[in-house]
Amino acid sequence: MVTGAGQGIGEAVTRALVAQGARVVAVDREPAGVEELAARYPDGQVVGRKLDVTDGAAVDALVDEVERTVGPLDILVNVAGVLRAAPVVDLTDTDWAETFAVNTTGVFHTSRAAARLMGGRRSGSIVTVGSNAAGVPRSSMAAYAASKAAATMFTKCLGLELARSQVRCNVVSPGSTDTAMQRQLWSDEAAARGVIEGDPSTYRVGIPLGRIAAPSDIADAVVFLVSDRARHITMHDLYVDGGATLRA
């Protein structure tokens, strides 16, 4: 199951998993994207469903339906996310609450539902798509960064709890990626060059590799972490940001 699969990274993850032979339940709170995605796979490799991850009861019900009608849930990828960009003094209570409801509480809802099943079967993999903003302060992104930091630590704690059950939980933390969310921060196409080169006025370094990630770059990292090639990797946070955070 892939959340936030209607566009961007979630869609790319869905396609990448299908290419590896998985049958994917693609979910999004806006159904049009996942329904269109499912229609491109007439053999049923993609099942589109509407889901608001902030609704715990709805998450539990859908996971139960997936188990009954599609098959055992072996992989969960948490991609659904929202961004409310504003200086802290201008952030509204609604901005803050909605950001955490999707980016953090949504991850809790889906991961809890999956973990209950995977733990009992002693098999499964959960990957949360976080952000490099979770580890580096960003101007006007306090709510987003804080929510992603919380989701990252939640996923690692879950991984510790599930380790004896052989269920692995990891994080992929993208940097700037060419998605609709990224483009909402741009005033024009020249803004992409600014992201690559950096902005000293906001204390933001650029991207050493000299390019903005494609959604497929993030999807490839997810596919690796859910595969048997990563069978001895859990509680890991894999940054896929072209070196933008200068992590040691």
The one-character DSSP state at 22 is: -
The dihedral built from the CA positions of residue 188, 194, 222 and 234, taken in this order, carries a sign that is negative
pLDDT digits (tens, 9 = 90+) for 110-138: 999 999 999 999 999 999 999 999 999 99
For residue 187, pLDDT over 80 is answered with no
Catalytic residue among 41, 144, 203, 239: 144
Residues 6+ apart with CB under 8 A from 4: 10, 27, 28, 78, 79, 80, 81
Between 225 and 182, residue with greater pLDDT: 225
pLDDT digits (tens, 9 = 90+) for 31-65: 999 999 999 999 999 999 999 999 999 999 999 99
For residue 162 the two structure tokens come to 């599930």
CA separation, residue 175 to residues 17, 82, 122, 139, 161 (Å)? 21, 15, 32, 15, 28
Helical ranges in 20-105 per DSSP H: 31-39, 56-69, 93-100
* pLDDT the model gives residue 188: 67
* pLDDT the model gives residue 181: 73
Which helix (H) or strand (E) element contains residue 225? helix 215-226
* pLDDT the model gives residue 204: 87
pLDDT digits (tens, 9 = 90+) for 8-22: 999 999 999 999 999
Mark whether 41 is an active-site residue: no
Picking from 173, 112, 117, the residue whose alpha carbon sits closest to that of residue 144 is 173
Q: State the Cα torsion 38-50-125-113 to the nearest 10°.
A: -150
Between 149 and 201, residue with greater pLDDT: 149
Give yes or no for a contact between 67 and 47, defined as CB atoms under 8 angstroms apart: no
For residue 140 the two structure tokens come to 């006007």
Give the pTM.
Answer: 0.95
| Lowest model confidence (mean pLDDT) among 100-109, 180-189, 203-212 | 180-189
User: Mean pLDDT for the chain?
Assistant: 94
Q: State the Cα torsion 7-9-15-20 to the nearest 10°.
A: -160
Category of 91 on φ-ψ map: left (φ > 0), alpha (ψ -120 to 50) or beta: beta
CA separation, residue 12 to residues 17, 72, 140, 236 (Å)? 9, 22, 27, 21
Q: What SS3 class is residue 241?
A: coil
pLDDT digits (tens, 9 = 90+) for 152-175: 999 999 999 999 999 999 999 999
For residue 177 the two structure tokens come to 């990626």
pLDDT digits (tens, 9 = 90+) for 63-80: 999 999 999 999 999 999
* pLDDT the model gives residue 189: 67
For residue 248, pLDDT over 60 is answered with no
* pLDDT the model gives residue 152: 98
To the nearest 10 degrees (0 to 180), the angle between helices 142-162 and 106-121 is 10
pLDDT digits (tens, 9 = 90+) for 81-97: 999 999 999 999 999 99
